[in-house]
Structure 1
Amino acid sequence: MREAAIEWLQLRTDGGNEPLTRDDILDFHFADETVRLQAPMQGIWKPRGYQAALSFRTAYTKPGEKPPYEDATGSDGLFRYKWRGTDPNHPENVGLRAAMKLRLPLIWFLGVAMSPARYQVIAPVYIVGEEPEKQQFAFTAAEDAATAFELSESAHEVVARRYLQRMAKARVHQPAFRSMVLSAYENRCAICNLGHSGLLDAAHVVPDRDERGIAAVDNGLAMCKIHHAAFDGNFLGVHPDFVVHVRHDLLEEVDGPMLKHGLQALHGRKLMKLPLQRKERPKREFLEIKFDEFQKATLRR
């Protein structure tokens, strides 16, 4: 059932790219029966009769707010998930510990939006260690259990290098970042208001290659693919006051309708779409960094 659930979630989320609501998650059936994949209230879910937990959940936290649990990524690159309460023998903690000992895959539901609540599905993940003094488990988004557990306890640094630096970003941060940003912008391009999610990306304001380029909704803009490419390539910039600027040499160029209507006509206009929640809008300091880069690129032309 565990393997069937993960396969079903991969199909429902288009390989982990699209978030699911709680109602979506309730649609799973196995052996002609509805099977719950997520806890109704608590974070950790161990179905009745199961020795090991099946899933755990991280609630969505609005920008600037403190999360209810201090789940985080450690300096070694491994993800952390806090115990339920402080009792190591709480049934939910016992369930996660059993999954670790049995080397079973779990499902991580990472909250990316609320009202309605939506979750990015990261699966499979594997618990590879426990830190009782900090009342938390360490886990990784590895491809398979054999790979995740083949390294010894002393080889966590290797785990971080080989998997978590690459996979945590590609398989966790980026899909979750996309879901949070597109949800905040109601699946519309901030530049042109295009509303087809399959044609939209989550653009980093400060690039993720920069240490300041965090994968947070207030460092993001929902953009259609052409405007995302134009933004990353400094063909257009977004002023901290949300006004679109197009590079001067493009304004003078004569080409076709895409250039005329898709770029040139945007110059001097305000963004067409912004999140309703001000805390989810791009931080001014991030826009200043990116707009400075755009201006320098413009001067070189």
Structure 2
Amino acid sequence: MVEPEGLREAAISWLQMRTDGGQESLTREDLNDFSFADTGTRLIAPMQGIWKPGNYSAALSFRTSYTEPGKTPPYEDSTGADGRFRYKWRGTDPDHPENIGLREALYRRLPLIWFRGVAMNPARYQAITPVYIVDEEPEHQQFVFVAAEDVEAAFELSESAHETVARRYLLRMAKARVHQPVFRSMVLSAYENRCAVCMLAHPSLLDAAHIVPDNDERGVAAVINGLAMCKIHHAAFDRFFLGIRPDYVVEIRHDLLEEADGPMLRHGLQELHGNSLMSIPKSRRDRPNADLLEDKYEQFRNATKNGVA
């Protein structure tokens, strides 16, 4: 069956619009809203990871299931030291139809959709698109893929004299373009789209705040290193105007408590001093890691002593 002309472009455009430029996650029910030329083409596989609609020669999408913190994922998909992503074959047969579907996308340099699981019950997915398969590693039974912005660099990487610099660049960009929106969706889902500090429930005004920054070796892009925060409390947290103790109690910098600067300061920060967080994940596995909170709180205490703003 010949793939309908314009299908991929329509699917990618619809997803980018539906997810506000890749910022919002979607359920399977949300994905069922997609329609193209009345064909009823689905965007995600019903059960398996790789989706090749009907008898199309090339895959349209592939999926990485959400894995709860502390559990082992069913497939060891990963990010390599080169900043490129790996996706395991379906099974061990290189000629499985789904593996052939991804290989065909590699040969034809076709754009694909990567659905990255960010929550379950109901299952939610971050749509990262377009991505491109740029290589295959049969010895590891996996494909190599990158985000669209990195595709030309990835195809040209081979024996370049600037390979080390290019790989570092790709790794940094991969984190920014892929991990950050996934991290945001996972954290906001765990906190049910509410600010941990004040309970504000408007996702467009919420951020996923890292407890330990992602440029720190401990700053993993996992829910246990995150807090859902409205933008003002996120900024206050990062700038040490607001601290959170390991027992989830909020503290405000002592000199800020003495200021008089209108209702925003009074209600938005000062009155929070000594209160417990108003929203935490229901699952204990998703709650902030105590050691990471302790480290951040110690930085807050030092900043308070030194008057850092």
TM range (shorter): over 0.9
SS at match of 2:197: coil
From 142, 153, 176, the equivalent of 2:158 is 153
Matched residue of 1:250: which SS? helix
Please tell me the residue identity of whatever aligns with 1:55: S
CA distance in 2, matches of 1:82, 1:113: 21
Counterpart of 1:97 in structure 2 is 103
Aligned residues: 299
Q: Secondary structure at the match of 2:87?
A: strand
Residue in 1 that maps onto 2:190 = 184
5+ residue gaps, structure 2, are 1-6
Residue 162 (structure 2) pairs with residue 163 (structure 1): no
2:4 aligned partner: none
1:108–1:122 CA contact under 8 A, matched in 2: yes
Distance 2:243 2:130 in 1: 38
- Identify the residue that residue 204 of structure 1 maps to in structure 2: 210
Would you say the 8 A contact 1:140–1:148 is kept in 2?
no
Check whether the contact 1:58–1:109 (CA below 8 A) recurs between aligned residues: yes
CA distance in 1: counterparts of 2:114 and 2:226, whole angstroms: 23
Identify the match of residue 75 of structure 1 among 74, 81, 84: 81
Map of 1:53 onto structure 2: 59
CA deviation after TM superposition for structure 1 residue 35, in Å: 1.1
Q: Trace 1:1-301 onto structure 2 (pairs within 5 A).
A: 1-143=7-149, 147=152, 150-155=155-160, 157=164, 159-166=166-173, 168-301=174-307
Using the TM superposition, give the Cα deviation of residue 158 of structure 1 relative to its aligned residue in structure 2, in angstroms.
5.6
Residue range with higher mean Cα deviation, 21-30 or 185-194: 21-30
CA distance in 1: counterparts of 2:50 and 2:198, whole angstroms? 41
Compared with structure 1, are the counterparts of its residues 149 and 284 closer, same or farther at alpha carbon in structure 2 (3 Å cutoff)?
A: closer
Deviation at 1:34, TM superposition (A): 1.8
**CA RMSD across the alignment:** 1.4
Separation (CA, whole Å) in 2 of partners of 1:15 and 1:42? 26
User: In 2 relative to 1, CA 158–128 (structure 1 residues): closer, same or farther, beyond 3 Å?
Assistant: farther
**Contact 2:49–2:63 under 8 Å retained in 1:** yes
Q: Is the 8 A contact 1:237 1:246 kept in 2?
A: yes
CA shift, 1:76, in A, is 1.2
Provide the secondary structure at the position in 2 that maps to 1:14: coil
Of residues 206-215 and 97-106 in structure 1, the stretch that sits farther from structure 2 once superposed is 206-215
Q: Matches of 1:144 and 1:229 in 2, distance apart?
A: 30
One-letter code of the match for 1:281?
A: R
Q: CA deviation at 1:159?
A: 4.9
- Aligned pair in 2 of structure 1 residues 158, 106: CA closer, same or farther (>3 Å)? farther
Task: Give me the whole-angstrom Cα distance separating, in 2, the residues matched to 1:157 and 1:81.
Answer: 23
Query: Percent identity, aligned pairs only?
Result: 68
Aligned partner of 2:3 in structure 1 is: none
Q: TM-score, normalised by structure 1?
A: 0.96
- Unmatched tracts of structure 1, length 5 or more: none
**Structure 1 residues 204 and 241: CA distance shift in structure 2, 3 A:** same
Compared CA separation, residues 157 and 29, structure 1 to 2 (3 A): farther
- For each residue in 1:83-108, what CA deviation from the matched residue of structure 2 results, as whole angstroms up to 9, or x when unmatched? 00011111111111110111111100
Change (3 A) 1:100 1:283: same
- State TM-score, norm by structure 2: 0.94
Question: For the residues of structure 2 that align with 1:27 and 1:231, how far apart are their CA atoms?
Answer: 38
State the 1:71 CA deviation: 0.4
